[in-house]
């Protein structure tokens, strides 16, 4: 019904066309500009404060449990666990924004103010979502405010460009050879120009939203501006960083602790490469200065520690390999760091566990919970930590800043609470932690497992000598041996890397010779208890994957 080709259309148009051209495209562009501005300002002033993300968080907060469960059940081949749900939510929100823009644009053709009302309401929604976040801090309003302002300004600017100039139809398009004066053609030219402008603004905004934050970080360095408002602004964190730097190198990792040259990961995983698993759509941005931890429940004395009090306790360094229960056989959800922190067991003893308290329920600032057996935490030599640093740096925000739990030998979902704010001594009968009601086990000691890192699956390699390599782990017991088998041949002992301890992974390598053809290689670990990794495969749910890893490859 609307013909955008002006040269072919000289019929008079309804007057409202002149007043509000291109309503839908203009409104959608204004919404895109708002989202782009919000992302960009968020990247600059407070990482993780994007209004788009804030709305996503609010949806997760307000969604009924069945909807959250449905989201978590989404998987997309090729996407890491916990990514598909976040992606689906973001696409859903983008779709709703587009729908709102279309409605606003259609309305704007009748009453121009309707477009502005819709853009304004979306902006207010962003502000409200940010303000009601459980981790709200005032700087987080800057990005939604910028989004609101840029959205309205863009809408007004585009609409002005599309409006005929005062004093009659005398636009720039009416030149010789151009559309005929006196007809409605000039409006068409206006309209096309306007649509072009809108499309340009929309594309630029979308590009900014997608690539802007990363570019800002690439140019100014990760978290450089975030320091203004983020974690590093905490004097407490700066003091910790200085103290850690002064204490380096505290835990020398022996040479030969990895076979990185043969294809294993380095013994210590650099913080940016450390695997990440959590339910937080956006990383909570906590301030150590405002942080405190409450220890309560079935205790003789309730304790409360702020960050300074926590750091006033003796700090220990402990290399620990963290593992996710969702890790498939041969999967990537395992990493190692030297964690620095405070011993948890003495803290719990100070609080004085009451008889019968068999569970430590730890809660993060976003409400996520883990249930850890008290007997494991109090076991001599277990070495559970309230960690404040990893690999010599204050905990990165993604890994739980300012403090998290780390318990060697237990999968993360029953022990490794990030953004920790509350420790409650209770019973397993009384309180159920987050993943327990979602099909995962209550008791989740890490299973003795191994992985093949080289050759990679379906790799084509030259025939002849081959050094296979990989990792094995059995926290807290440690690895005593790894055996490797080529095709259906005999099991042969692999060479193990220098042992760091039972709390960490151990690397293996084996020199083999392969004839041309297709092959498979498998491996199996034995831990220091004498327990050999079982052959029978088991899926990750409910208490961790099991089975011998197998890799197929071809030699030429």
Task: Assess 447 for contact with ligand MTE (CB under 6 A).
Answer: no
Running DSSP on this structure, what letter comes out for residue 536?
Answer: S
Q: How far apart are CA 503 and CA 374, in angstroms?
A: 19
Q: How far apart are CA 456 and CA 469, in angstroms?
A: 10
Handedness of CA 244, 245, 246, 248 (dihedral sign): positive
Min separation Cβ 333 and ligand MTE, Å: 7
Q: Which of 259, 291, 307, 413 binds Mo ion (CB under 5 A)?
A: 413
For residue 157, count other CB atoms closer than 10 A to its CB: 15
DSSP, collapsed to helix, strand or coil, labels residue 517 as strand
Q: Which does 154 bind (CB under 5 to 8 A by kind): ligand MTE, Mo ion, none?
A: none
Q: Which stretch binds Mo ion (CB under 5 A): 161-169, 322-330, 447-455, 548-556?
A: 322-330
Task: Assess 275 for contact with ligand MTE (CB under 6 A).
Answer: yes
Task: Assess 61 for contact with ligand MTE (CB under 6 A).
Answer: no
Min separation Cβ 231 and Mo ion, Å: 23
Q: Which is nearer to ligand MTE, 398 or 499 (CB)?
A: 398
Q: Which stretch binds Mo ion (CB under 5 A): 25-33, 317-325, 420-428, 467-475?
A: 317-325
| Chain-centroid distance, C-alpha 181 | 58
Q: Are 534 and 316 in contact (CB under 8 A)?
A: no
Site for Mo ion in 291-310 (CB under 5 A): none
Task: Assess 417 for contact with ligand MTE (CB under 6 A).
Answer: yes
Contacts 24+ apart (CB under 8 A), 72-79: 72/279, 72/438
Site for Mo ion in 229-288 (CB under 5 A): 277
Task: Assess 292 for contact with ligand MTE (CB under 6 A).
Answer: no
Quote the tokens at residue 124.
């207010």
DSSP, collapsed to helix, strand or coil, labels residue 29 as helix
Q: How far apart are CA 372 and CA 431, in angstroms?
A: 11
Strands (E), 248-358: 292-297, 303-306, 316-323, 334-343
Task: Assess 190 for contact with ligand MTE (CB under 6 A).
Answer: no
Task: Assess 324 for contact with Mo ion (CB under 5 A).
Answer: yes
Task: Assess 282 for contact with ligand MTE (CB under 6 A).
Answer: no
Q: Which of 416, 472, 500, 510 binds ligand MTE (CB under 6 A)?
A: 416
Q: Which does 417 bind (CB under 5 to 8 A by kind): Mo ion, ligand MTE, none?
A: ligand MTE
- Report the residue closest to Mo ion, judged by CB: 324
SS3 helix, strand, coil % of the chain, rounded to 5?
A: 40, 20, 40
Task: Assess 505 for contact with ligand MTE (CB under 6 A).
Answer: no
Running DSSP on this structure, what letter comes out for residue 225?
Answer: T
Task: Assess 278 for contact with ligand MTE (CB under 6 A).
Answer: yes
Residues that bind ligand MTE (CB under 6 A): 274-280, 322, 324, 364, 368, 399, 412-413, 416-419
Give the residues lining the site for Mo ion (CB under 5 A): 277, 324, 412-413
């Amino acid at each position: 019904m609307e013909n955008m080709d002006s040269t072919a259309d000289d019929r008079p148009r309804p007057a409202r066309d002149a007043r509000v051209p291109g309503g839908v495209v203009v409104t959608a562009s204004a919404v895109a500009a708002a989202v782009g501005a919000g992302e960009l300002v968020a990247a600059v002033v407070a990482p993780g404060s994007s209004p788009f993300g804030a709305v996503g968080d609010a949806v997760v907060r307000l969604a009924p449990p069945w909807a959250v469960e449905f989201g978590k059940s989404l998987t997309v081949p090729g996407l890491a666990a916990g990514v598909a749900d976040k992606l689906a939510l973001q696409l859903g929100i983008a779709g709703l924004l587009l729908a709102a823009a279309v409605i606003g644009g259609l309305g704007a053709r009748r009453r121009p103010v309707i477009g502005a009302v819709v853009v304004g309401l979306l902006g207010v929604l962003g502000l409200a979502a940010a303000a009601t976040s459980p981790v709200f801090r005032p700087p987080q309003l800057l990005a939604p405010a910028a989004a609101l302002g840029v959205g309205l300004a863009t809408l007004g600017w585009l609409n002005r460009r599309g409006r005929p100039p005062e004093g009659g139809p005398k636009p720039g398009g009416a030149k010789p050879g151009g559309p005929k004066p006196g007809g409605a053609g000039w409006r068409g030219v206006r309209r096309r120009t306007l649509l072009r402008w809108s499309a340009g603004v929309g594309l630029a905004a979308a590009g900014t939203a997608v690539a802007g934050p990363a570019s800002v970080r690439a140019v100014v360095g990760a978290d450089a501006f975030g320091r203004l408002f983020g974690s590093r602004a905490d004097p407490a964190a700066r003091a910790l960083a200085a103290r850690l730097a002064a204490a380096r190198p505290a835990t020398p990792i022996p040479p030969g602790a990895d076979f990185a040259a043969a294809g294993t990961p380095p013994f210590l995983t650099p913080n940016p490469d450390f695997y990440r698993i959590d339910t937080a759509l956006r990383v909570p941005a906590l301030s150590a200065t405002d942080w405190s931890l409450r220890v309560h429940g079935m205790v003789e004395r309730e304790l409360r520690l702020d960050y300074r009090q926590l750091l006033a306790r003796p700090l220990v360094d402990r290399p620990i390999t963290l593992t996710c229960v969702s890790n498939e056989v041969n999967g990537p959800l395992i990493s190692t760091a030297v964690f620095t922190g405070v011993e948890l067991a003495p803290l719990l003893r100070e609080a004085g566990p009451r008889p019968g308290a068999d569970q430590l329920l730890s809660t993060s600032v976003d409400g996520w919970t883990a249930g850890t057996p008290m007997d494991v935490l109090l076991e001599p030599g277990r070495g559970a930590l309230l960690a404040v640093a990893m690999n010599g740096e204050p905990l990165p925000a993604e890994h739980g800043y300012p403090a998290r739990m780390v318990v060697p030998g237990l999968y993360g979902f029953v022990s490794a609470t990030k953004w920790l704010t509350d420790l409650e001594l209770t019973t397993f009968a009384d309180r159920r932690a987050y993943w327990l009601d979602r099909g995962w086990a209550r008791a989740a000691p890490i299973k003795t497992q191994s992985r093949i890192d080289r050759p990679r699956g379906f790799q084509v390699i030259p025939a002849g000598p081959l050094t296979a390599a990989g990792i094995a782990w059995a926290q807290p017991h440690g690895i005593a041996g790894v055996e490797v088998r080529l095709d259906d041949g005999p099991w042969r002992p692999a060479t193990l890397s220098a042992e760091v301890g039972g709390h960490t992974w151990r690397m293996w390598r084996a020199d083999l010779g392969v004839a041309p053809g297709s092959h498979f290689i498998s491996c199996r670990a034995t831990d220091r208890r004498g327990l050999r990794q079982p052959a029978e495969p088991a899926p990750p749910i409910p208490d961790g994957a099991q089975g011998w890893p197998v890799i197929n490859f071809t030699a030429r």
